[in-house]
Chains A and B, each alone.
Chain A
Amino acid sequence: MKKTSVRKIIYLFLLIFVLIFTPQAFALPHQISNKAIILAIGIDKADTQYEVSAQLLVPKNQKGFSENYSIISAFGNTISLALNKLELNIGKQLGLAHTNMIILSASLDEEENIFSIFDFFIRDRELGNYALIMHTDKTAKELLQLTTDVNESSVNSLQEIVILNDRYIYGVDSTLNNFINGYFSPSKTGQIADITVISESEDSTSGISSLSDNSQSSGDGGQSSGNSELPISQSSENSQNKRPASKNSSNTQSSQQASSSAETDSSSGSQSSQTKGQFENDGSTIIYKEGKKVATFNSYEYRGINWISDTYAKKGFVELYDVNDEYLTDADIVVNIYDRKVNKQYNFIEGKPVMKCKITLTVSLKQIIQSSYDGLLGTDSYYNLSNSIKEELRVLVQREVQESLALLKEYNIDLVKVYENYYKYKPKKWKEYLNNVDDDENYMQDLLILTEVVINEFN
């Protein structure tokens, strides 16, 4: 076979390839025109049927930048069937590449295993690992509708609030990847941020604008943009029981909130029904074990866990009440946390696991509230943290850790990765301990956590 024959065959092949595929390429439309771009998915359950709602991007040829969304939903026996119906209803393939929120409603709290819902999403090629998951007390569809309105006004977005959540001392990393890692870890736990929806028919003084009688602090709330300086406010709901879903009482009376309102006048170009209501992120976290919901922790309870966790949660305010010293009389102090570092040692004492945690906090004094500032202004205590404040803070942290540990033992959930860390650092002894324990699923019962708190002042 001559050289030129081989070359000719190759050129011929190439020509055929180009002739066949080029005209086809000329006819290919935008992928976007065949895809329904989904930004958020909400899942509800009624009886045996799942209702899947999707926030859909609706392209419109307009001058300037504009986002147009609509909500569409479908029912099905499984998530995949419901989404399939959604596709048929929309008439386009679902494009989940930009889906960054999955909202689960309270109707799914009785699910045997919540992972059965996530199983669809983690198999999907397009959906990102770091899609945010959140839980809501109302229907997911309602929350989606609120989010749509908020998005249109570009003031705030639920997504931004939840992304920032994991940086706060009460917050949780509420992503799909984190949940899956937790589900398959030895502790088999997962956590999801809880977002409350307050509709207009309920107490309208809740959330941003209301200040309860017991309120001892105020904040501007409302149109905050979810940045690091969170307002302090007290919801009317919270004013009645100091910590919702809490089994422990505490001196602290205020809760930290970030909230957005979706007043209809604040949105522009809204195309859906004018939903009135608010959503609140009060720091609640839903805890799952082996895919089943076992508890709801409020912001304080979860904060107790975060003091000793290895996550990035470190920002936020801490309130101290009735602090007394040379210059302070029954003062309420607000301290801002800049940084948190934890050093942990995993030991065994008399065959029982003892975790020693050294917590180093970098804080600064944010606010002093007391009836009179005479004698306070101009002193060191006004600007800097006094020893009594530091001591109060130490006590608070230690107490919160112990209280949260008690809760973990009560529910038998391992949110501080005891199993994993003991297995990493002391594998042999840990295996021995598990062999010796009556029920190796109940390994948390003998756990002791000893905390040492070091307070540094941020200058």
Chain B
Amino acid sequence: MQSLNELKDVILFKLSYSNDVMTRDFTCLNNIKASIIWIENIVDACKINRSVLEPLMETKDSIKGDKADVINIIKLKFEYILDTKIETDLDAVIKWLLCGYCALIIDKQKEIILLNAQNWKTRAISEPPTSPVFKGPREGFVEDICVNLMLIRKRLMTPDLVVESFNEGQYSNSKTCLIYIKSIASDKIIKKVREKLQKINIDGIINSFYIEQYLEDRAYSLFKQIGSTEKPDVFESKLLEGRVGILVNGSPIALTIPYLLLEDIQSNNDYYFSRGLRVTFLRYLRLIGALFAIYLPGIYVAIQIYHYKILPLKFLITISNSSQGIPFTPIVEILFVIVLFEALYEASLRMPRYIGLALSVVGALILGETAVNAGLVSSPTVMIVAMTGVLLYTVPEQESQLSMLRIIATLEGGIIGIYGILLSIVFTIIYLTNFDSYGTPYFAPASPHIKKDQKDALRRVDIQHMITRPKSIPNKNPIRIKMENEDEGTDN
């Protein structure tokens, strides 16, 4: 049996003698030597003082006899601490120390008592900048998984909510939780996701995107196959539809599986204040906006290079007048403007806030006014690219994909013309129809057409009529609401 000091040394050795590993030796219960080890900054020191040291050091009790169960007697002193463990495996002790526990080593005892004194500092719950709402909940996930779990638990107060934990990352040991409602989610999907999570072999998880890449069947593809959200209300609604969710410690982005392309066209605003007709209009607008964002520059380039006949006369005059003296060919001109806009976007993401305004003005002036006046680019080109730049954000979740597709479509329009754009539409659809996100077709419920799901696809009926869960998402319980007479509900 190792002595107190020896054990302490081993632990400190395993922790590489880091300067933030603290120890305190003391005597308790009359004559028992003990030592407490903790890692500074991740524990609540007051809690250790109050709940660990005080009860031990101030007690007037003593332990007599060699055969006394010292560990359990001491453990009983920590009635104010919810979570206590007893470990003999030093690796496990190290692991818990790294999780914010403190380790209490008792002389001549092989068991080590681990006490929860976690004190993670996390940022306040606030509205996520990527998902603003007009009228609705403004809570967003944070980096601390515990807070995130709290946000979910307070919304889904059901015993059917299951949280399975994994630790991913050899060095980061990031806590990853698989969350689902067991009476709704498909067992097949749960099993598949669980298996994939268990197979993850990586040194560290920085963000949930790392997990996402492991869970996707085609991680190399431009198109995502797993949904994501920063909002607990959206996460909740997705779980209620039969999806499974994944939270990763250190990331405010929650993942949801399976994923449908339609999800990104819908918005949480659609359910919080707008009427059904308005929502239907907005969804179609987003879809058309996304299509315009991708194909408008390509069509414009194709018309300029191959199909001037399509243009009405007055527009033809405008374009021919404005393109006089432009040194670039149409495709170079439009790619130049697109790249400029993309650079401006990238710079605006990274720039310090205090020069943001200045750079925005410079960007607008350079691109809008000066480049046109200098005869580098024509005003219709700038207008088209700016318009499509705005339209990209009608479906913000797909912004990166749409942006890449826009460039590809522009190249195709320039190389082959409108025929190329048509082929690219067909090609993209053929490519995406092969995507199955965990057995769910990518374009469901449009293709394959699922009639019952149309009530909340591009159109939205009122909430009262959403009696069944979407058939596109495999689930165990297709009925959302039980009617009073216990008949199966009917859908509009």
Instruction: Tell me the bound Cα distance from A151 to B115 in angstroms.
Output: 90
Q: Is B324 close to A, CB under 8 A? A: yes
Chain B residues closer than 8 Å to A32, beta-carbon distance: 304, 308, 316, 319-320, 323
Q: Is B154 close to A, CB under 8 A? A: no
Instruction: Tell me the bound Cα distance from A126 to B325 in angstroms.
Output: 27
Q: Is A222 close to B, CB under 8 A? A: no
Chain A residues closer than 8 Å to B317, beta-carbon distance: 57, 59, 65-67
Choice from A25, A57, A61 contacting B415 with Cβ under 8 Å? A25
Q: Is B313 close to A, CB under 8 A? A: yes
Contact string, A48-80, partner B, CB cutoff 8 A, digits 1/0? 000000000101111001110000000000000
Say how far B381's CB is from chain A's closest CB, in angstroms: 11
Chain B residues closer than 8 Å to A31, beta-carbon distance: 304-308
Cβ A26 vs Cβ B316 within 8 A: no
Q: Knowing A59-B317, A62-B321 touch, does A28 contact B308 (C-beta < 8 A)?
A: no
Instruction: Tell me the bound Cα distance from A65 to B315 in angstroms.
Output: 10
Say how far A236's CB is from chain B's closest CB, in angstroms: 36
Q: Is B318 close to A, CB under 8 A? A: yes
| Interface-central residue, A30, A65, A67, by most chain B CB under 10 Å | A30
Chain B residues closer than 8 Å to A62, beta-carbon distance: 321
Chain B residues closer than 8 Å to A37, beta-carbon distance: 308, 316, 320
Instruction: Tell me the bound Cα distance from A97 to B312 in angstroms.
Output: 10
Residues 65 to 111 of chain B near chain A (Cβ within 8 Å): none
Q: Knowing A26-B331, A30-B304 touch, does A57 contact B320 (C-beta < 8 A)?
A: yes
Q: Is B252 close to A, CB under 8 A? A: no
Q: Is A138 close to B, CB under 8 A? A: no
Q: Knowing A28-B330, A37-B316, A65-B317 touch, does A60 contact B308 (C-beta < 8 A)?
A: no
Q: Is A22 close to B, CB under 8 A? A: yes
Instruction: Tell me the bound Cα distance from A308 to B422 in angstroms.
Output: 48
Q: Is B309 close to A, CB under 8 A? A: yes
Q: Is B62 close to A, CB under 8 A? A: no
Q: Is B411 close to A, CB under 8 A? A: yes
Cβ A28 vs Cβ B319 within 8 A: no
Q: Is A46 close to B, CB under 8 A? A: no
Residues 3 to 39 of chain B near chain A (Cβ within 8 Å): none
Q: Knowing A31-B308, A97-B309 touch, does A25 contact B414 (C-beta < 8 A)?
A: yes
Contact string, A27-53, partner B, CB cutoff 8 A, digits 1/0? 111111101010100000000000000
Q: Is A431 close to B, CB under 8 A? A: no
Across the interface, name the chain A residue whose C-beta is closest to B325: A61
Taking residues whose C-beta sits less than 8 angstroms from the other chain, chain B's interface range is 20 to 34
Q: Is B186 close to A, CB under 8 A? A: no
Instruction: Tell me the bound Cα distance from A28 to B415 in angstroms.
Output: 9
Chain B residues closer than 8 Å to A65, beta-carbon distance: 314, 317-318, 321
Q: Knowing A30-B305, A32-B308, A95-B308 touch, does A59 contact B321 (C-beta < 8 A)?
A: yes
Cβ A29 vs Cβ B329 within 8 A: yes
Choice from B309, B323, B375, B415 contacting A30 with Cβ under 8 Å? B323
Chain A residues closer than 8 Å to B309, beta-carbon distance: 95, 97-98, 126
Taking residues whose C-beta sits less than 8 angstroms from the other chain, chain A's interface range is 20 to 34
Instruction: Tell me the bound Cα distance from A59 to B322 in angstroms.
Output: 8
Instruction: Tell me the bound Cα distance from A32 to B330 in angstroms.
Output: 11
Chain A residues closer than 8 Å to B375, beta-carbon distance: 61
Chain A residues closer than 8 Å to B305, beta-carbon distance: 25, 28-31
Chain B residues closer than 8 Å to A22, beta-carbon distance: 411, 415
| Interface-central residue, A25, A61, A95, by most chain B CB under 10 Å | A25
Q: Is B332 close to A, CB under 8 A? A: yes
Across the interface, name the chain A residue whose C-beta is closest to B323: A30
Cβ A28 vs Cβ B329 within 8 A: yes
Chain B residues closer than 8 Å to A29, beta-carbon distance: 305, 329-330
Residues 220 to 270 of chain A near chain B (Cβ within 8 Å): none
Cβ B321 vs Cβ A27 within 8 A: no
Chain B residues closer than 8 Å to A59, beta-carbon distance: 317, 320-321, 323-324
Choice from B304, B313, B316, B324 contacting A61 with Cβ under 8 Å? B324
Contact string, A89-101, partner B, CB cutoff 8 A, digits 1/0? 0000001011000
Chain A residues closer than 8 Å to B411, beta-carbon distance: 22, 25
Instruction: Tell me the bound Cα distance from A25 to B309 in angstroms.
Output: 19
Say how far B442's CB is from chain A's closest CB, in angstroms: 21
Across the interface, name the chain B residue whose C-beta is closest to A100: B313
Choice from A21, A25, A35, A67 contacting B308 with Cβ under 8 Å? A35
Chain A residues closer than 8 Å to B322, beta-carbon distance: 61
Chain B residues closer than 8 Å to A60, beta-carbon distance: 321, 324
Residues 366 to 398 of chain A near chain B (Cβ within 8 Å): none
Instruction: Tell me the bound Cα distance from A171 to B219 in angstroms.
Output: 68
Cβ A66 vs Cβ B332 within 8 A: no
Say how far B490's CB is from chain A's closest CB, in angstroms: 48
Instruction: Tell me the bound Cα distance from A33 to B325 in angstroms.
Output: 11
Chain B residues closer than 8 Å to A97, beta-carbon distance: 308-309
Chain B residues closer than 8 Å to A98, beta-carbon distance: 309, 313, 316
Instruction: Tell me the bound Cα distance from A32 to B329 in angstroms.
Output: 12
Instruction: Tell me the bound Cα distance from A181 to B329 in angstroms.
Output: 43
Contact string, A9-32, partner B, CB cutoff 8 A, digits 1/0? 000000000000110111111111
Instruction: Tell me the bound Cα distance from A126 to B313 in angstroms.
Output: 14
Instruction: Tell me the bound Cα distance from A338 to B332 in angstroms.
Output: 55
Say how far A37's CB is from chain B's closest CB, in angstroms: 7
Say how far B62's CB is from chain A's closest CB, in angstroms: 75
Contact string, B54-71, partner A, CB cutoff 8 A, digits 1/0? 000000000000000000
Across the interface, name the chain A residue whose C-beta is closest to B309: A97
Instruction: Tell me the bound Cα distance from A26 to B323 in angstroms.
Output: 16
Choice from B320, B325, B331 contacting A25 with Cβ under 8 Å? B331
Instruction: Tell me the bound Cα distance from A237 to B304 in angstroms.
Output: 49
Instruction: Tell me the bound Cα distance from A29 to B308 in angstroms.
Output: 12
Say how far B312's CB is from chain A's closest CB, in angstroms: 9
Contact string, B314-352, partner A, CB cutoff 8 A, digits 1/0? 101111111111000111100000000000000000000
Instruction: Tell me the bound Cα distance from A272 to B479 in angstroms.
Output: 78
Chain B residues closer than 8 Å to A25, beta-carbon distance: 305, 331, 411, 414-415
Given contacts A25-B411, A95-B309, A126-B309, 12 further A-B contacts (CB under 8 A): A25-B305, A26-B331, A29-B329, A29-B330, A30-B304, A30-B305, A30-B329, A57-B317, A59-B323, A61-B321, A61-B322, A97-B309
For this complex, 21 residue pairs linking A to B, each with C-beta atoms less than 8 Å apart, are A21-B415, A25-B331, A25-B411, A25-B414, A25-B415, A26-B329, A26-B331, A28-B414, A29-B305, A29-B329, A30-B320, A30-B329, A32-B323, A37-B316, A37-B320, A57-B317, A61-B321, A61-B322, A61-B375, A65-B317, A97-B308
- Going nearest first, the 3 A-B pairs with the smallest beta carbon separation are A97-B309, A59-B320, A61-B324
